[in-house]
Amino acid sequence: MKTKVSDAKKAYRTQQWIAGIVLTLGGLLVAIPFIWMILSAFKPESEVLQLTPTLWPETFTAENFVYLFENMNFGVYLKNTIIVVLCSFVGLFFNAMAGYAFAKYKFKGRDKLFYLVLATMMIPGQVTMIPVYLILNQMGLTNTMAGVVLPGLVGAFSIFLFRQFMSTIPDELLEAARLDGASEFRVFMQLILPISKPIMAVQGILTFIAGWNSFLWPLIIANDESLYTLSVGLSLLKGQYGGNFALQMAGSTFMVVPIVIIFIIFQKHIIEGYTISGMK
């Protein structure tokens, strides 16, 4: 009996090891593009074009990054991307407001309007792409920052998550604040938003990532290079400097690494956020 138990334990330990090894190999495979990107970004162009590639840069150089900012307009792209990100936080605030109203107010047509909001999640982007362009064109917003930002400002899924979270806030808390004479907007700003920190954290990070990565609307709306975001600039770079891989990798690194750093810092919130929203 005793040997049987220890046999089972041994088998279990081996299985654990096998699982670990398989995941390590898979993880390495998944990480290769990142590793290769970052290492290539610091190689001079001539080294990248060698027929036997080097793993570690033989000559370590930052000239690719300097080139991006001096000879291409990456400074402008970066500024535009940051504007897009900041605007998308305004959108996040609108989502939170709407989510709060759907969770905590009773008003005529509430459920119908909420279903309408949910229904917009089903609409594929390709269907709205062309009419939204025509609408923005009619409003005279093509080739403006407002045109780049507006279409993606609010999102149904985000409103839904805010509503789910905020409906767990007890009504008594709101009543107490109202009795103290706080206006509705103050209740929202000073009571609801602080309580909603966990969902705000998740949504904030996801909003940042989405804004930083935004590609389609800047691509469609911006004709002027002065309105390009980083991702549009990068696709332009790919077209103009097709053969210069070191430069392309530097551009990609510049886009990917900030997100990876932010992700690693806040990963707990993101992964737990999925669990929060997945449970409901």
Partner 1 sequence: MKSYSKTTPYLFIGPALILLALFSLFPIVVALVISFTDIDLAGLADYSNISFIGIENYLNIFKDPIFLKSIGNTIFYVVFGVPLVIACSLGIALLINFGTARIFKAFRLVFYMPSITNVVAVAVVWTYLYNPQFGLFNYLLGLVGIPAIPWLQDPTIAKGSLIALAVWRAIGVNMIIFLAALQGIPKTYYEAAQLDGANNWKQLTKITIPLLRYAIFFVSITTMIGWIQFFEEPFVMTKGGPLDSTTSVALFIYRNGFQLSNFGYAAAGSFVLFIAIIIITMIQFRLQKKETDF
- Chain positions 56 to 85 lying near partner 1, rule: CB under 8 A, are none
CB-based burial of residue 118 (10 Å sphere; 0-12 exposed, 13-18 middle, 19+ buried)? middle
Among 40, 88, 196, 207, binds partner 1 (CB under 8 A): 40
The stretch among 58-66, 68-76, 193-201, 257-265 that binds partner 1 (CB under 8 A) is: 257-265
186 contributes a contact to partner 1 by CB under 8 A: no
DSSP secondary structure letters along the chain: -HHHHHHHHHHHHHHHHHHHHHHHHHHHHHHHHHHHHHHHHTS-HHHHT-SS--SS-SS---HHHHHHHHTS-HHHHHHHHHHHHHHHHHHHHHHHHHHHHHHH---TTHHHHHHHHHHGGGS-HHHHHHHHHHHHHHTT-TTSHHHHHGGGS--HHHHHHHHHHHTTS-HHHHHHHHHTT--HHHHIIIIIHHHTHHHHHHHHHHHHHHHHH--HHHHHH--SGGG--HHHHHHHHHHHTTT-HHHHHHHHHHHHHHHHHHHHHHHHHHHHHHHHHHH-
Residue 49 interacting with partner 1 (CB under 8 A): yes
Q: In the set 66, 86, 130, 265, which binds partner 1 (CB under 8 A)?
A: 130
Binding residue for partner 1 (CB under 8 A) from 1, 6, 127, 194? 127
Choice from 123, 146, 173, 261 touching partner 1 (CB under 8 A): 123
Binding mask 81-120 for partner 1 (x = CB under 8 A): ----------x--xx-xx-xxx--xxx--x--x--xx--x
Contact status: 30 vs partner 1 (CB under 8 A): yes
Neighbouring C-beta atoms of residue 30, cutoff 10 Å: 10
> Residues 26, 75, 140, 198: which binds partner 1 (CB under 8 A)?
26
Among 68, 85, 141, 156, binds partner 1 (CB under 8 A): 156
Q: Smallest gap, in angstroms, from Cβ of residue 174 to partner 1? A: 9
Tell the smallest beta-carbon distance from residue 95 to partner 1 (Å). 6
Contact window for partner 1 (CB under 8 A) among 28-36, 60-68, 70-78, 195-203? 28-36
- Candidates 52, 170, 194, 224; binder of partner 1 (CB under 8 A) is 52
Which parts of 195-234 interact with partner 1 (CB under 8 A)? 209, 212-213, 215-216, 220, 230-232, 234
